[in-house]
Structure 1
Amino acid sequence: MNWQEEFDVVVVGSGAGGIVSAITSAHNGLNTLLIEKSASWGGSSALSGGGLWIPNNHVSKKAGLQDSEEEALTYMQDVIADTGPASTYERKEAYVKNGHKMVKFLEEAGMKWVAGILYPDYYPERPGGKIGRSIEGEIFDSRLLGDYAKTMRVGELEPPIPLYSGKVASLPKAFTNAKDFNIVVGMFLSGFKHKIKGEKAISIGAGLVGRLLKIALDYKVPLRLSTPLKDLIIENDKIVGIEVEKDGQPYFIKCKAVILAGGGFERNPELRKKYHNVGTDWTSASESNTGDMLLIAQKYHIDTALLDDAWWGPAALDANGARKFLVYERSMPHCMIVDQTGERYFNESESYVDAGHAILERQEMNGKAIHSWLILESRNRNKYLFGDMLPRMTPKKAIESGFLIKADTIEELARKCEIDYDGLKATVTKFNQFAETGTDEDFGRGNSAYDNYYGDPSYKNPNLGAIEKAPFYAVKIYPGDLGTKGGIVANEHGQALKNGLPIEGLYATGNCSASVMGRVYPGPGSTLGPTSVFGYISANHIQETLLQPSTATLSHNL
């Protein structure tokens, strides 16, 4: 092999998991290269809410959370069903035991954390459940990245102000009470302060990966954009190097370890059709995630799991065709979701992964759930934010484009949306009775602290309000996703497995791997948490078992 460069470790993918892997590897004294397929760095992480679900971390505990490894494992064991090799007890234990260590390590390296102390686990009433395990990065001044700020991935919908995901619940109800109004005003004042200082403030996912990249650059980790991985070079079940594409040509890099953190297959139409029976139109993931890691893994018969699953959630396409992953919108009073028969079929306020599963299961059952409809009435539009639409301000374009269907009666709405009127009328009648009593007898909406987190506490049930005052609105709902969650099976050390045995030097984390969370979403940050923690675990395992600092003869061309 004509090697053109040599490193100890090559990390594939520049999302949070990849950058944490590179930071940890460089900190351990190993010559580390970070490569990114696209011309922008940050991956889906840069488009995300930026939270990490890390039990027993010192940031949350300092903010008042009482937590322990034992409680976290109890919770994970209870909510995550047995889904095979991806979510073994050993993997869960490794996650819990190393997560808080990673948080401390990154803080000492320069990360600045903020606790989402009010943000509940998604099943807080289950054994070991808590409120406040999520953390996120402090708002970051992207000027500190120099020229790298110009090549950061930007999403379809950027927040108008820097904000914290742990405070987002105040946004939809900011005009209903003084507490939430003051929190939102504080967000705007904070954004204004950054501006008058001349800072380029970024937050949530972009802020997280921005500061992580700054740390990686401080460790002098080279980042190569537009450098897609084309192949692994494996001899006797052992990594000896990789093939990438550089300037349109094959380029060979010798290394002793590779950490795959290159995302899932959200944007690959053939793979989505094969494993999910949906297309790519509704995903919120990075456009460069076309399943490269999975296809390479299948070529070498590397173990895979959970390929039929994703980080699902109800989504809509706005007036401009941009994807809107709906979180708080479906939890506010005076709204409900029905299929084309007019029937409700799940708790609209539940975890987005559970809601997404419900849409897919309903579609399989009756063929009338894709698309479904989010039904709103006038009080919802008058009181609450919906996406970026302020209360009482529904742009004409939203209606003229067909994003919002508007009607003066339920019968007219049913006709315009081609929903079975008798079914919808019966559902509205029953739903209004639930709103009056404050109890959803069908699906338990509002019974959980997680449901209530995005609700309006001025209501008997923070998530229930009648649908009876015109005008009425409807929005098409699709099974969107934040990314696929199936891929390479890794063990508790992050090692990729083939026939249940580790391939020496090959590691996988993030959405190119099968998730430790199985088929559920235990709490806010259950994608960024695992990709970061197992990136950290993988880099440490490489240092402990394969390499000692400075073992490679560095001959790369910077």
Structure 2
Amino acid sequence: MNESCDFVIIGSGAGALCAAIVMADAGKKVVVLEKEPLLGGTTATSGGVMWIPNNRYMSDAGVPDSKNQAIEYLNHAVGDAPDTPGTSPLRRETYVDQSVAALEFLESQGLEFRRVPSWPDYYAVPGQSEAGRTVVSELFNLKSLDDWQDKLRPGFLPLAGYLEEAMELAYMTRTWAAKGMLLKLIGRTLGSRLTGKNYATAGQALQGAQLKAALNAGADIRTEYAVKELMFDNGKVTGVIAEHKGQPVHITAKLGVLVASGGFSKNQIMLDQYIPGTKTEWSGAASGDTGEMIQEAVRVGATVAQMEQRQGYPVTTPPGKPLAYMQSDLAKPHAILVDKSGQRFMGEADSYMKLARGILERNETSSAIPSWMIIDSQYAKKYMLAGGMLNKKRIKQWLEAGFLKTGATLAELASQCDIDGQQLQASVEQFNGFVTANKDEAFGRGDEVYHNWLGDKLNKPSATLGSITQAPFYAVPIYPGDVSTFGGIVTNEHAQVLSKENQPIPGLYATGVATASVMAKSSPGAGGSIGPSLTWGYVAANHALKPQNSTSRNGQVAVESTVP
């Protein structure tokens, strides 16, 4: 079968759907091809948070920010290096400008957003916003999608609640306010259902709202269309060859092709090649993140970089439950992370990328996969672990499954985990000394705003430091997981794919975690992958619409923003 259109988009994550809305709103025939049965990509299953500096929601709330402050922060938090071509001063400046423009464009299409009242930037460097630069979707009524509702990938939170409300549930056994919050969320959810609505939150809300806008604008969105090949003629990408129900479909695209197909977290062969020591089962990315479009872009001349980088996240694998993300758990008082030798090796309240990278790096010199999260009974009584409270039933189930380890003494616990008991005892004693002094002299845990935001606001004097003294003691294994890879196709400030000669490949664009991230080896704050994915999708579509525009500072084609 042969077809033609103006623009083909491969994938259906944040950047893909944003680009589809831009193209369809401009009156162009745009085809979105998703190889999976469900739309939305990893974005739909995530918190849906976008790191967008200098946004109007900050201004509305009286939170100071500016373009210069944001760029200063990125320059310190991200920086430049020979092996990170995904970032540059020009790319970072473009991101700061165009992320705001993309947000304003989506608002003009009927999407609604809000800021999370408090979510600090991750790094205590000049330009940091302690209040945070995060933007999320408002709640979205899935019923408004009609028949498309069942084609959207489910989210992680079944309640009609905002992220900051869901975070309060961690205090449910300790404060009446948290108990009241749970009742509020249940009431809102049930109330909406009684009125014929079904509200989604977080990433599912973002993708639901974008899907609705794309459909309303006339985008042709298809599931179970797997792109097998980029059509390449006389040095230009002219379309794609896809497969649907076993049949090939040739689609030519006048204005170009956008690769927005995700990373390679679910491709063990690629992980072994680029990030040895990691496993697909430790990834929370969508099942379709198998990297073949990165490989296909290379076939037509694209260059790749930062392939060893990932949006890392410490995880564990509780029996009978989904993968559990453990960053917040690790940051709570009465917990430390040790390697097989029984030593602490990093601050447990650092960002998720830093934690996951730290485990991998530690494993190069000392066995650290798995590492072990060590807690005492104070922790077990107050906090959730791996998504649930440690009640008697759960302890029994997890002990029988061999997932949870316990001991009446630290030495007994160490034996259960096959780690050095003497060293574990020494590590805990040293940590308890830091708790008494209210100062982690080894790793500075608790010294930064972000550390304490992750911890327990009810714990005094420190939100993240608490002694490990009360038996029985417990341990769970921690692995260097991820929510996506963070390297891939190298693009310029217009999201054009670059060749090995550093020249744009005509007709080919890329966004999201299929690309070498503008954030290089870090994530500056919550939404450091979704924000760029959406933004570069917006930039790519606008550039494809106006390829005749003037030359940029680096001699490549520039496009003037369609949004002031």
Q: What SS does the corresponding residue of 1:465 show, helix, strand or coil?
A: coil
Superposed displacement of residue 173, structure 1: 2.7
Match of 1:480?
Answer: 481
In structure 2, how many angstroms separate the alpha carbons of the residues matched to 1:137 and 1:393?
A: 38
Superposed displacement of residue 129, structure 1: 3.4
Aligned residues of 1:114 and 1:135 also touching (Cα < 8 A)? yes
Aligned residues of 2:70 and 2:127 also touching (Cα < 8 A)? no
TM-score, normalised to structure 1, is 0.94
Deviations 1:260-317 (A, max 9, x none): 1000111111101010112211000011111111110222231111011111111100
In structure 2, how many angstroms separate the alpha carbons of the residues matched to 1:289 and 1:422?
A: 43
In the TM superposition, 1:458-473 aligns within 5 A as 458-473=459-474
Q: Which amino acid in the other structure matches residue 463 of structure 1?
A: T
Larger mean CA deviation between 176-185 and 204-213 belongs to 176-185
Cα distance change, pair 329–47 in 1 and its aligned pair in 2 (3 A): same
Match of 1:356?
Answer: 356
Q: What SS does the corresponding residue of 2:269 show, helix, strand or coil?
A: helix
Superposed displacement of residue 178, structure 1: 5.0
Larger mean CA deviation between 49-58 and 198-207 belongs to 198-207
In structure 2, how many angstroms separate the alpha carbons of the residues matched to 1:326 and 1:302?
A: 36
Match of 2:527?
Answer: 525
**Structure 1 residue runs without a partner (length 5+):** 548-558
Match of 1:56?
Answer: 54
Aligned residues of 1:264 and 1:290 also touching (Cα < 8 A)? yes
Larger mean CA deviation between 197-206 and 217-226 belongs to 197-206
In structure 2, how many angstroms separate the alpha carbons of the residues matched to 1:246 and 1:382?
A: 52
Deviations 1:380-401 (A, max 9, x none): 1211223331365661323322
Superposed displacement of residue 181, structure 1: 4.8
In structure 2, how many angstroms separate the alpha carbons of the residues matched to 1:273 and 1:476?
A: 21
**Stretches of 4+ moved more than 6 A in 1?**
none
In the TM superposition, 1:72-83 aligns within 5 A as 72-83=70-81
Superposed displacement of residue 341, structure 1: 0.7
Superposed displacement of residue 179, structure 1: 5.1
Q: What SS does the corresponding residue of 2:506 show, helix, strand or coil?
A: strand
Superposed displacement of residue 183, structure 1: 4.4
Cα distance change, pair 168–78 in 1 and its aligned pair in 2 (3 A): farther
In structure 2, how many angstroms separate the alpha carbons of the residues matched to 1:306 and 1:146?
A: 41
Q: Which amino acid in the other structure matches residue 483 of structure 2?
A: L
In structure 1, how many angstroms separate the alpha carbons of the residues matched to 2:342 and 2:170?
A: 26
Q: Which amino acid in the other structure matches residue 484 of structure 1?
A: T
Q: Which amino acid in the other structure matches residue 282 of structure 2?
A: W
Aligned residues of 2:325 and 2:386 also touching (Cα < 8 A)? no
Larger mean CA deviation between 194-203 and 456-465 belongs to 194-203
Aligned residues of 2:232 and 2:300 also touching (Cα < 8 A)? no
In structure 2, how many angstroms separate the alpha carbons of the residues matched to 1:182 and 1:452?
A: 24
In structure 2, how many angstroms separate the alpha carbons of the residues matched to 1:210 and 1:146?
A: 11
Aligned residues of 2:316 and 2:386 also touching (Cα < 8 A)? no
Query: Is residue 90 of structure 2 the alignment partner of residue 106 of structure 1?
Result: no
Aligned residues of 2:77 and 2:125 also touching (Cα < 8 A)? no
Cα distance change, pair 454–60 in 1 and its aligned pair in 2 (3 A): same
**Structure 2 residue runs without a partner (length 5+):** 550-564
In structure 2, how many angstroms separate the alpha carbons of the residues matched to 1:202 and 1:460?
A: 37
Aligned residues of 1:173 and 1:385 also touching (Cα < 8 A)? no
Larger mean CA deviation between 371-380 and 453-462 belongs to 453-462
Superposed displacement of residue 318, structure 1: 1.1
Match of 1:270?
Answer: 269
TM-score, normalised to structure 2, is 0.93
Please give the root-mean-square deviation of Cα atoms over the aligned residues, in Å: 1.7
Superposed displacement of residue 75, structure 1: 0.4
Query: Is residue 503 of structure 2 the alignment partner of residue 501 of structure 1?
Result: yes
Query: Is residue 370 of structure 2 the alignment partner of residue 371 of structure 1?
Result: yes
Larger mean CA deviation between 295-304 and 17-26 belongs to 295-304
Larger mean CA deviation between 180-189 and 125-134 belongs to 180-189
In the TM superposition, 1:7-46 aligns within 5 A as 7-46=5-44
Percent identity, please: 35
In the TM superposition, 1:370-409 aligns within 5 A as 370-390=369-389, 392=391, 395=394, 396-409=396-409
Superposed displacement of residue 152, structure 1: 2.0
Aligned residues of 1:60 and 1:135 also touching (Cα < 8 A)? no
Q: What SS does the corresponding residue of 1:118 show, helix, strand or coil?
A: coil
Match of 2:330?
Answer: 330
Query: Is residue 291 of structure 2 the alignment partner of residue 291 of structure 1?
Result: yes
Aligned residues of 1:260 and 1:509 also touching (Cα < 8 A)? yes
In structure 2, how many angstroms separate the alpha carbons of the residues matched to 1:29 and 1:398?
A: 56
Q: Which amino acid in the other structure matches residue 399 of structure 2?
A: I
In structure 2, how many angstroms separate the alpha carbons of the residues matched to 1:481 and 1:365?
A: 21
Aligned residues of 2:410 and 2:425 also touching (Cα < 8 A)? yes
Superposed displacement of residue 340, structure 1: 0.8
In structure 2, how many angstroms separate the alpha carbons of the residues matched to 1:259 and 1:545?
A: 15
Aligned residues of 1:117 and 1:133 also touching (Cα < 8 A)? no
Aligned counterpart in structure 2 of residue 245 of structure 1, from 243, 261, 284: 243
Match of 1:5?
Answer: 3
Cα distance change, pair 350–340 in 1 and its aligned pair in 2 (3 A): same
In structure 1, how many angstroms separate the alpha carbons of the residues matched to 2:512 and 2:50?
A: 13
In structure 1, how many angstroms separate the alpha carbons of the residues matched to 2:171 and 2:437?
A: 22
Cα distance change, pair 179–68 in 1 and its aligned pair in 2 (3 A): farther
Q: Which amino acid in the other structure matches residue 80 of structure 1?
A: V
In structure 1, how many angstroms separate the alpha carbons of the residues matched to 2:322 and 2:240?
A: 36
Aligned residues: 542
Aligned residues of 2:143 and 2:198 also touching (Cα < 8 A)? yes
Match of 2:280?
Answer: 280
Q: What SS does the corresponding residue of 1:148 show, helix, strand or coil?
A: helix
